[in-house]
Each structure stands twice: as C-alpha cells, then as structure tokens.
Structure 1
C-alpha cells in the first residue's frame, strides 16, 4: 500500500515536469526575446570534436527516474518529458549529417551513496529522445550499442555521449580521463525567471479582464 502511494507521487512529479516543459515552450513561442535565457534550463546538447572525430553530448538535470512496471501512463509522461527537453536543447535541423553505427554512453552522476541499479532506470526515454533527433537512423541493435556508468558528484545529473562505433575505444579512454571536464550541468535555477515571467503574464491577463468588465 505504501509502495503504491510513493509510485503515485512519482507519477505526479513526472507529469508536473512535463507540464512545466510545455509551459516553457509556449512562453518561448509567444514572447521570444525579453532578455537572454538559455533555450532550455532543464537540458543541454552540443556537438563536440574529440581527437578529430564527432561526438554529440546530451546533458540532463536531475536523476533518471526508475522503472515502474506495467504503468503506461507513467512511462508515457517520462517519454514526453525527455523528448521535449531534448528537442528544446538544440537546433538539430542545423546538423547536416547522421551518425553511422553508433554507441550511446550514459553517465549517471549521483550526489549520495544510496545503492542504485543502473538497469532499473528509464534509459529508454533518453534513447528514444535521441533517436527522434535523427542523429541516428535507428536504435536497434544493428545501429546502436549502449553503455552506462555511475559516478559520484555534488548533484544529480546525466551526461550522454553519442559516438560512432569506430571511435568508441578511443572515446572511452578519453572519457575515463576527462569526463569531469566534459560534464555540463543545466542551470535549473533559470526556471525561477520563467515562473516569474509566467506569473506577470497571468497577472496582466487578470488586470485586462478587470478593465474589460467596465469597457
């Protein structure tokens, strides 16, 4: 009974994250430029060149939620959230190439020493989101291999790296030495400005409606 209660809390949190992302997207579409703001404060993506070969990095704030078996609504909200934040993080249409047979390395950074199994995370949400960017043709075993690692850090975040398989050995060696230099943690604090802007917009609507009562 208690377990079901906590699972329902998890579902509510993921749906809240999805709704927050949708509101951010709507605000960006309505009012593009009042001040400088990263396109997405919850995730970041960027192309890299490591030792002469291309690597694409995806960064996500927070920890990947765990699997909740046989709950399609929960998984659907997770998928939707990661697709939204991934697409908002970069203009993938500007990338005029596609990776061949590739490997995706997902590095999980944890701020505590609580025991966690990496295979219990919803890695599929990140894999699907990256597939939809069209940087890879497909995520079947013929086109994509998956590697996961865990590391301690001061806060929870995820770094994912897409690299062509022919460069995998070289990049693994590079990553072992430089993963702390490469990591990028999205500034979730930027959400404060988004919510402040949203509140001002809602207040303006209320004031306009009050005026319309008389005119």
Structure 2
C-alpha cells in the first residue's frame, strides 16, 4: 500500500466508478490521510465495515458496498476540525448519489456483456432493433438527482483545483458531471485542513451515522 496513510488507487475501467474512487481518495486526503488501521477502529461498529472491505473501497476494482461508502464519507468528513454536521451530511449525500450512478453504470455494463435470449420478431425488424440497442448509454438507466446541471457552468474559481484533480474520470454525461461537481463543492466547504495540523475531529460533530473514533 506504499507509505503509511496512503492507499493504492486501482485501475478502474468505467468512468463513473472511477469518479467515485477518485472522490473517496480526495476525501481521504482532506481528512489527513488516516491509516487503514485508524479507519478500521473508527468504523468498528458499522455493519459490513472490516479491514478488507475498507481497503477494497479504496483499492479494489469492484464497486464497494453502499453502507461502507456512506460510513467512510461520514467518518472521513468528520475528522476535519470544526466541521459541522451539515457539511458532513452534504458530503455523504453526494457520495450516495455518486455510488448510485456507479452502480447503475455497473448494471448497464453487466447487461451489455450478457447476450440477450433469442426472441421472435417480425421479419426485417432485426436491423432497426439492433441499431436502437447499440445507441444505449449508461445515462439511459440512471435517475436524475437533485444536483443542478448548471453547477459546472457557474463553477467558482475556488472549486477548479478539486475538479481538475478528478476531471479525467468524467465522461460527457451532464448528470455525472453535476453530481461530481456537487461533491467537489461539498468537500471544498469543509474547513481548511491546513488550519488543523493535529487531525483531531470536532467534539461537537453529530453525524447522521454514529461512528466511534
């Protein structure tokens, strides 16, 4: 895994899952790069969170479990000193949306790689139907979330470094761009980690999921 506190980034082929993984690594950095052992202790009361599942959330090519992603988002955001519960919840909300996009993307690619069973159809309709199926994209099975599509167009200058750090993971899909932009903004709203060299979490934080430091 390299030096302490750093987790290996996997080579993920699908762009929305890759965006989720990039965002998780970005949040880990904002949270002062806690070690795997520290995160395991912090999430010891979360069902499904173990040393293996936490490590895999960062370093496996498989999509992590949603409960583990949610717990990590709450825990990591909560490590930032003077963070508010509203800021933590905003980060967790956007991670929820991003995981759903990644899960829909995974289902799309799984169905695309599985041959459809033969079915009877009118003569001459094969070509038109095949052409219709070939135009399908992951966005056809993804719900529209409540992140404004216009957010990127109005992107504040202060967000650009964070978005640039994740940009390679994006495709041309407006929904995906808006979700990850919303997540970048939520992370940017956390108190500046440079103001707190200790890494001690705020004692006033009351996250929506109770985790033990």
TM-score (norm 2): 0.26
Whose helix proportion is higher, 1 or 2? 2
Whose strand proportion is higher, 1 or 2? 1
Q: Which has the higher contact order (CA 8 A, sep 6+)?
A: 2
TM-score (norm 1): 0.26
